[in-house]
């Protein structure tokens, strides 16, 4: 048997909902069956990670033990001390497995990524969040099984959304009232159906039916025109963007829906991102839990450090350096290829430009019109800038040029 | 509260019920109309190839299938579909084949056409299928129809055991996986065992019935449409059929459309596919052989499928552009050896109707590009088809096949010395 990627086929939901039925009935009657919850989690994790040669499953177990050691050693240290460098060391330790996995394709040495398994990024985000909040003193106590339950919460394990420990904890220790749970069921059913529409109908149309054809057409211009550019590439850009959104948003809706059935209000990952009126707005609507994670745990902390140590004076420069760092890290996180890095730089550039424009607009408020037409134009422009960035992200240029 | 729950789950329950009815209820959705069949005959849509209902409907009307691969899409005025339309052949060609389809895909296709029984068919063979590695796994997987696969599994209790064993094993070897129960059934067939009663029950009542409903519902929705292309092509033909006259016209059209190269290759194909990299083909095929290939076994499976249904078949060996042969340095022996081997396999089992276009006296403009027949090639074939298409019923005298499972073995796939001793 092979690993079954969660939510990858419509059949998966039939089995999953049967497995969830006791949990749903329990919550309906105001009870959480802790043992059954654990059992269901183990079943899903086994089908997802222990199919085939079990290498992913073993990696997952090693990874969890490793992260647990780091978090709990740091927790006991933090109760007495609060050294900056100790904290930094622990954060670095926590992301080392992920760094190895990400570097792997670059150094072409498959043995190094001991920890490679589906979803390692998302578990690392969660671990780092806990370490940072322990340092802040907002997480004072955490039990090993709570840590595992949070990290291994199966609806979100492979691709998020990235929940926060304290928010998650509040949901799982509580049992929702009947009225609340009916609302959760309502939201769960709606999101599940929306997700099916997104991923298996619209996403399938763009990704499986349209994309391969357009890709062949686009690549047929390789070496035929300057840089292989063609109108097909423009079509590819839009089709890929649509595919990326509907596939990922569909997936995220499933994760939220299944969480809801289990009485957990996992945060949403997308909020009509193509309606964004500027690039900053876009990042508040696209892969929200990831961009908020980057905002809270990288950008804000970097800003704070830079201002505290007075490394830079000019507020604009500080913000711009912050964007560059943030999006470079995001680029590197996606993978060590030139197009992910360029994607990161492109977005940093877009953010910096956007900020500059907003400052300019503020100064010349009277002479710059703002009406329905300019707002529509803003949405149109943002949409195209975003699609262009996804075209870089897709790696098609790599295939076209190299 | 009850009302609330109904508002939440009611629509889902209704939707699921509707889906179940759509996919499994024994309702015959009459989506296949004569117009659809006519469109499907030249559509070359992959759903036509992978489906069953359209082709089985066509067998009840006046169509004779032409089974082949990429050459079918070369729709010039002399294409059989165009000729049949212009000169009102009594039976019309039903095209089945796409770039990448080879013997095993067509074996599954023929196996799925229950109504082909006792009728005629035309089969165009491309020497290029018979490479050392045989059909690429990806191409086979892409064209493998889950519907035809379930049909094959359910029919495995009758028919030739050696052939069933071979086909099931080959499908698994090519990396096909269509679900644990289907895989298990194929495994058993490849070991020469009967499928279990549970496998039969599941595949018949769940898998196949749903796939059939899907074929009925979606198999003919917004198909590719080549009817206008055929209409345009046939409008260039003169009103009366005169071979000599048409031959001149074919040369004239071919000359007009192959001006930018001296290989007699159509301009658009040359410009798109070859111009930039023509040099790399110079003498590139010096060592090509088509005599050692698992494709011979796949081809045998196809012959078994024809034999099982008592289908009378005209086999056409596709020509290769002689100028292209010369340019790529392919030895003439590659083609003649292939011819000898494939003809031996055919004739020794009673398939005697063979039109060999790989070996004609005047082969100018026989192909439309490098390896696909067109222009004069089509016209030569049409000349044979004209008579063949007068009647769609097989002549029982021509379907006395003597199948030999030796042709399913590796020994045959790699054999080049055969004449009469095995």
A185 contacts chain B (CB < 8 A): yes
Say yes or no to pLDDT of B30 above 80.
no
Residue B12 distance to chain A (closest CA, Å):
8
The residue behind tokens 């943002």 is A382
- The confidence score (pLDDT) of residue B339 equals 94
Residues of B in Cβ contact (< 8 Å) with A186: 4, 7-8
Average pLDDT for residues B228-249, to the nearest whole number?
A: 94
Residues of A in Cβ contact (< 8 Å) with B46: none
Residue A162 distance to chain B (closest CA, Å):
27
A193 contacts chain B (CB < 8 A): yes
A144 contacts chain B (CB < 8 A): no
The residue behind tokens 């500080």 is A318
Average pLDDT for residues A115-143, to the nearest whole number?
A: 92
B317 in any annotated domain: yes
- Total count of residues recorded for chain A: 402
Could you report the per-residue pLDDT of B255-295, keeping only the tens digit for each? Answer: 998 888 888 988 888 887 887 788 888 888 888 899 999 99
B390 in any annotated domain: yes
Instruction: Give the angle A30-A36-A40 at the CA atoms, nearest 5°.
Output: 120
**Measured distance CA(B44)–CA(B46) in Å, rounded:** 6
The answer to whether the CB of B160 falls within 8 A of the CB of B304 is: yes
Closest residue on chain A to B272 (Cα):
A220
**Measured distance CA(B121)–CA(B309) in Å, rounded:** 11
For residues A149-177, one letter each, b for 16 or more C-beta atoms within 10 angstroms of the residue's C-beta and e for the rest, the string is: bbbbbbbbbbbbbbbbbeebbebbeebbe
Residue B420 distance to chain A (closest CA, Å):
48
A223 contacts chain B (CB < 8 A): yes
CB contact under 8 A, A223 and B276: yes
Is the Cα dihedral A43, A199, A251, A179 positive or negative?
Answer: negative
**What value does the CA radius of gyration of chain A take, rounded to a whole number of Å?**
23
Strands B120-125 and B312-317: parallel
**Measured distance CA(A162)–CA(B358) in Å, rounded:** 64
Closest residue on chain A to B15 (Cα):
A193
Confidence at B133, pLDDT banded by 50, 70, 90: very high
- The confidence score (pLDDT) of residue A109 equals 59
**Percent of chain B residues topping a pLDDT of 90:** 72
Tokens of A150: 């949070």
Task: Decide: residue A146, CB within 10 A, 0-12 exposed, 13-18 middle, 19+ buried.
Answer: middle
CB contact under 8 A, B1 and A193: no
Task: Decide: residue B353, CB within 10 A, 0-12 exposed, 13-18 middle, 19+ buried.
Answer: middle
Report phi then psi at A71, rounded to 5: -65, -45
**Measured distance CA(B109)–CA(A72) in Å, rounded:** 62
Closest residue on chain B to A187 (Cα):
B8
Average pLDDT for residues B391-415, to the nearest whole number?
A: 94
Could you report the per-residue pLDDT of A67-90, keeping only the tens digit for each? Answer: 999 999 999 999 999 999 999 999
Size of interface A-B (CB pairs under 8 A): 18
Among B1, B9, B272, the residue with its CB nearest the CB of A189 is B9
CB contact under 8 A, B12 and A224: no
Could you report the per-residue pLDDT of A224-243, keeping only the tens digit for each? Answer: 788 889 999 999 999 999 99
- Whether A186 is a known active-site residue: answer no
Residue B265 distance to chain A (closest CA, Å):
20
Closest residue on chain A to B7 (Cα):
A186
Per the structure, how many domains does chain B have? 1
B292 in any annotated domain: yes
Strands B63-67 and B92-96: parallel
B79 in any annotated domain: yes
Cα end-to-end span (Å), chain A: 37
User: Domain range spanning residue B34?
Assistant: 28-413
- The confidence score (pLDDT) of residue B269 equals 86
CB contact under 8 A, A182 and B276: no
Residue A347 distance to chain B (closest CA, Å):
37
Closest residue on chain B to A194 (Cα):
B12
Count CB neighbours of A345 within 10 A. Answer: 15
**Measured distance CA(B16)–CA(B14) in Å, rounded:** 5
B207 in any annotated domain: yes
Residues of A in Cβ contact (< 8 Å) with B8: 182, 185-186, 189
Q: Which of A81, A287, A309, A334 is catalytic?
A: A334
- The confidence score (pLDDT) of residue B421 equals 43
Tokens of B146: 């889950």
**Measured distance CA(B34)–CA(B223) in Å, rounded:** 14
Binding-site residues on chain B for chain A (CB distance < 8 A)? 1, 4-5, 7-9, 12, 272, 276
Could you report the per-residue pLDDT of A82-111, keeping only the tens digit for each? Answer: 999 999 999 999 999 998 888 876 776 555
Residues of B in Cβ contact (< 8 Å) with A178: 1
Confidence at A388, pLDDT banded by 50, 70, 90: very high
pTM (predicted TM-score): 0.77
Among B4, B272, B276, the residue with its CB nearest the CB of A182 is B4
B20 in any annotated domain: no
**Measured distance CA(B381)–CA(B384) in Å, rounded:** 5
Closest residue on chain B to A14 (Cα):
B16
Say yes or no to pLDDT of B422 above 50.
no
Residues of B in Cβ contact (< 8 Å) with A224: 276
Say yes or no to pLDDT of A252 above 80.
yes
- The confidence score (pLDDT) of residue B128 equals 93
Could you report the per-residue pLDDT of B367-392, keeping only the tens digit for each? Answer: 888 889 989 999 999 999 999 999 99
């Amino acid at each position: 048997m092979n690993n079954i990627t969660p939510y990858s086929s419509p059949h998966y939901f039939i089995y999953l909902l049967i497995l969830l039925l006791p949990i749903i009935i329990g919550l309906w009657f105001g009870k959480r069956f802790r043992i059954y919850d654990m059992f269901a989690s183990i079943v899903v994790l086994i089908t997802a990670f222990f199919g085939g040669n079990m290498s992913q499953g073993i990696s997952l177990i090693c990874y969890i033990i490793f992260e647990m050691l780091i978090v709990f050693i740091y927790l006991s240290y933090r109760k007495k001390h609060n050294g900056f460098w100790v904290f930094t060391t622990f954060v670095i330790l926590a992301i080392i497995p992920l760094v190895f996995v990400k570097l792997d394709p670059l150094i072409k040495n498959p043995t190094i990524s001991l920890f490679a398994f589906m979803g390692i990024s998302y578990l690392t985000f969660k671990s780092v969040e806990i370490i940072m909040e322990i340092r802040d003193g907002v997480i004072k106590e955490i039990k090993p099984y709570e840590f595992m339950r949070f990290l291994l919460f199966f609806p979100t394990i492979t691709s998020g959304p990235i929940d926060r420990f304290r928010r998650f904890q509040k949901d799982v220790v509580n049992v929702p009232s009947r009225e609340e749970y009916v609302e959760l069921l309502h939201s769960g059913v709606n999101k599940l159906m929306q997700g099916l529409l997104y991923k298996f109908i619209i996403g399938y149309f763009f990704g499986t039916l349209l994309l391969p054809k357009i890709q062949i057409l686009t690549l047929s211009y390789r070496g035929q025109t300057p840089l292989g550019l063609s109108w097909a590439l423009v079509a590819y850009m839009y089709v890929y963007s649509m595919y990326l959104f509907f596939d990922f948003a569909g997936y995220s809706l499933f994760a939220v829906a299944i969480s809801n059935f289990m009485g957990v209000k996992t945060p949403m990952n997308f909020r009509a991102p193509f309606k964004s009126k500027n690039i900053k707005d876009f990042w508040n609507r696209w892969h929200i839990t990831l961009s908020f994670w980057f905002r809270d745990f990288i950008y804000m902390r970097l800003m704070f450090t830079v201002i505290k140590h007075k490394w830079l004076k000019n507020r604009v420069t500080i913000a711009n350096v912050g964007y560059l760092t943030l999006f470079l890290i995001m680029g590197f996180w996606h993978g060590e290829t030139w197009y992910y890095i360029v994607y990161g730089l492109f977005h940093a550039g877009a953010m910096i430009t956007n900020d500059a424009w907003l400052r300019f607009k503020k100064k010349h408020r009277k002479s710059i019109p703002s009406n329905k037409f300019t707002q529509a134009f803003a949405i149109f422009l943002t949409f195209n800038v975003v699609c262009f960035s996804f075209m870089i992200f897709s790696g098609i240029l790599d295939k076209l040029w190299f | 509260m009850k009302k609330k729950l109904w508002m939440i789950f009611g629509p889902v329950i209704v939707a699921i019920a509707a889906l179940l009815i759509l996919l499994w209820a024994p309702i015959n959705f009459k989506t296949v109309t004569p117009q659809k069949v006519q469109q499907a005959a030249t559509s070359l849509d992959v759903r036509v190839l992978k489906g069953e209902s359209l082709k089985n409907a066509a067998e009840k009307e006046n169509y004779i299938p032409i089974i082949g691969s990429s050459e079918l899409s070369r729709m010039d005025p002399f294409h059989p579909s165009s000729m049949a339309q212009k000169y009102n052949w009594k039976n019309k060609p039903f095209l089945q084949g796409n770039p990448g389809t080879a013997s095993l895909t067509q074996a599954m296709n023929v196996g799925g056409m229950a109504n082909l029984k006792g009728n005629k068919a035309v089969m165009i063979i491309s020497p290029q299928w018979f490479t050392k590695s045989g059909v690429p796994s990806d191409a086979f997987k892409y064209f493998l129809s889950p519907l035809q696969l379930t049909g094959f599994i359910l029919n495995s209790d009758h028919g030739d055991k050696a052939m069933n064993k071979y086909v099931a094993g080959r499908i698994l070897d090519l990396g096909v996986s269509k679900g644990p129960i289907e895989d298990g059934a194929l495994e058993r067939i490849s070991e020469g065992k009967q499928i279990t009663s549970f496998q039969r029950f599941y595949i018949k009542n769940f898998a196949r019935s749903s796939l059939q409903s899907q074929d009925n519902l979606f198999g003919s929705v917004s198909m590719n449409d080549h009817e206008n292309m055929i209409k345009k092509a046939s409008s260039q033909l003169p009103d009366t059929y005169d071979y000599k006259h048409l031959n001149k016209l074919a040369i004239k059209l071919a000359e007009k459309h192959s001006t930018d190269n001296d290989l007699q290759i159509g301009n658009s194909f040359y410009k798109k596919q070859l111009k930039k990299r023509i040099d790399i083909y110079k003498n590139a095929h010096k060592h090509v052989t088509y005599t050692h290939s698992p494709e011979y076994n796949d081809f045998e499976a196809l012959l078994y499928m024809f034999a099982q249904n008592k289908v009378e078949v005209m086999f056409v060996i596709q020509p290769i552009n002689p100028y292209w042969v010369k340019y790529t340095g392919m030895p003439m022996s590659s083609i003649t050896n292939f011819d000898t081997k494939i003809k031996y396999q055919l004739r020794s089992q009673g398939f005697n109707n063979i039109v060999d276009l790989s070996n004609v006296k005047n082969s100018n403009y026989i192909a439309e590009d490098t390896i696909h027949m067109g222009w004069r090639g089509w016209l030569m074939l049409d000349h044979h088809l004209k008579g063949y298409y007068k009647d769609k019923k097989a002549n029982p005298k021509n379907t006395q096949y003597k199948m030999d499972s030796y042709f399913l073995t590796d020994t045959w796939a790699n054999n080049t010395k055969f004449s009469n001793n095995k």
